[in-house]
Structure 1
Amino acid sequence: MLNTMIMKIMEIKLLKLLASFILILPLFAKNVFAEERESRALVVASQQAVLSSELAAKIDNIPVKEMQRFKKGDLLIQFDCSLYEAQKDVVSANANSALIKMESDEQMLQMRTIGKYDLELSKSEYEKAKAELLIAELNLKRCKISAPFDGAVEEILVNTFETIQPQVELMKIIQTDVLELEMVVSSEWISWLTIGHPIVVYIDEIQKEFNATVSGIGANVDPVSQTIQLKGTITDASPALLAGMSGRVLF
């Protein structure tokens, strides 16, 4: 009889313990789930560029400074193009002379004072002069470098009054109005992660939260770490958010 009572008491205690465990299990699972779906992220510029020269010339003016922000179309570098302007004037005069010669030959052909070969030759000279004029005009357009997007100057690699050659790197710029997140997560996540999945990023440097979405999923899994790269687009960025900052992402 005593053994039966002891067994019943132990059974009741066991049931109570099991019930308590069942009650706290969802909370425990929730914490584990949240911990597993957390990652680190790096804020990067969606676009960046290294500007280089397309011609040989002396730098006349650099109206921006490092870390300065600019708008699309703003002047970043101006070259001294006095030589190219003079060359354009000469080529333009040659093109005008070639046009006059061609028109004169057309009239002379009608009067049969020259042959068709002479007219074709003058037409060829005019087309050549037009091509040279186009090159001269293109060179003049290359005398200034304008901003291709809204952004900021990361680094200036040359100085005013320096004479540079083609393909020389001049300035590094980054886009500031569109920022992205770079993340590395477990490859197991791709079973539920999709493009457009909402995420929240907490930036350490400024201690602020921003909403974002998954905008890209890596094309391959790292076989060693079993991780995959993700891209994220910040939907409510502010001027305080800068490329290079990092933070914690909640999925």
Structure 2
Amino acid sequence: MPSTSESSAGAVANDYDTFAEAYTAENEAGLINAYYARPAILDLAGEVAGRQILDAGCGSGPLSAALRDRGAIVTGFDSSAKMVELARNRLGADADLHVADVSRPLPFPDGAFDDVIAALVLHYLEDWTAPLAELRRVLRPGGRVIMSVNHPIVFKLIHPEGDYFATSKWSAEHTFNGQNAVLTFWHRPLHAMTDAFTAAGFRTAVISEPHPAPGARERFPDELAGKSAFLCFLFFVLEAVRSQRS
């Protein structure tokens, strides 16, 4: 896992426009993203050829590219204009990319997508009600949200004095390709996550704590020495229920 420390006073949290290039460079081939987070999402997505997929919080587009390579029809959005620019550089000028915020109404019609990917997005948000409602709205009946968030145990590992059962804001300073950046998250316990999914009209089909992808141990022998796996993110597959009670 990347090293973290308490955030510096006065720093702007989650300002991805200011460190988008450094973040992309750091995570292009690193253990946490390239050999853990992205492969886990792709494994959960399974066969995607011909499926309409929304990459919510697409960043610089590595998941969008991988899904497109597997035959999916991909639309992406991110709240960071710089990240969307980098994604367009990766995916091409004709890529269907938007600057949008999952906390606000999305520029897509009802039932437009078979799947939504929301990788490492919701843990930045205090309230999941509106975002989950929007993801549910743009999904076809029976569609899936395939998502990842910080594993709730991470908060307790970094802040052992913290209340696991409370929804709590916390910040950490990370270094991406030599550039410091402050990330601010919202911790919530597992039951609060699954309760929010149910309230939004989803069935929790999968909860996953995956191992690193094949090849990780050979490429990162020091980081994985003595470990069969590690706790970093928690992964879900949610299915949009076909009928909702009003």
Assess same fold via TM > 0.5: no
Greater relative contact order, per chain length (Cα 8 Å cut-off, separation 6+): 1
TM bin (shorter chain): under 0.3
Taking structure 1 as the reference length, the TM-score comes to: 0.19
TM normalised by structure 2 equals 0.20
**Structure whose alpha-carbon radius of gyration is higher:** 1
